[in-house]
């Protein structure tokens, strides 16, 4: 599998979820506001989500060490392991297609 570093993300269209009248008037509805209280579990989940969001998706140190090993010729590729993984993924796709 080849990773294209030049691939650009596709921007998603913005969606306005406000009611049509609020969009037309340019301001939010004047309906009374409701107070919402989160349970301790929901508060904890919100904290965990923010902590997970702070974790980088890519381990830069690992990527840099692999790049250095490739550049110096010390990185070995286990072709048997790659072939086995490819065969396993094809078998899984064939089972899913049935």
Which backbone phi and psi does 85 adopt, to 5 degrees?
-65, -40
Whether residue 25 lies inside any domain: the answer is: no
Whether residue 91 lies inside any domain: the answer is: yes
Whether residue 62 lies inside any domain: the answer is: yes
Total structural domains within the chain = 1
Residue span of the structural domain in which 82 resides: 41-97
Whether residue 61 lies inside any domain: the answer is: yes
Whether residue 45 lies inside any domain: the answer is: yes
Whether residue 74 lies inside any domain: the answer is: yes
Whether residue 84 lies inside any domain: the answer is: yes
Whether this model's pTM surpasses 0.85: no
Q: How far is CA 53 from CA 25, 58, 62, 88, 97, in A?
A: 35, 12, 19, 31, 34
pLDDT tens track for 25-73: 555 556 778 888 889 999 999 999 999 998 888 889 999 999 999 999 9
Write the DSSP assignment of 14-43 as a string of letters. Answer: P---S-HHHHHHTS---PPP------HHHH
> Largest alpha-carbon pair distance within the chain?
67
């Amino acid at each position: 599998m080849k990773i294209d570093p030049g691939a650009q993300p596709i921007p998603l269209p913005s969606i306005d979820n406000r009611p049509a009248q609020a969009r037309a008037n340019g301001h939010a509805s004047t309906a009374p506001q409701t107070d919402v209280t989160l349970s301790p579990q929901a508060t904890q989940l919100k904290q965990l989500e923010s902590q997970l969001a702070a974790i980088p998706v890519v381990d830069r140190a690992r990527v840099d060490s692999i790049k250095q090993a490739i550049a110096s010729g010390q990185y070995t590729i286990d072709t048997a392991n790659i072939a086995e993984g490819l065969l396993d993924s094809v078998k899984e796709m064939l089972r899913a297609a049935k």
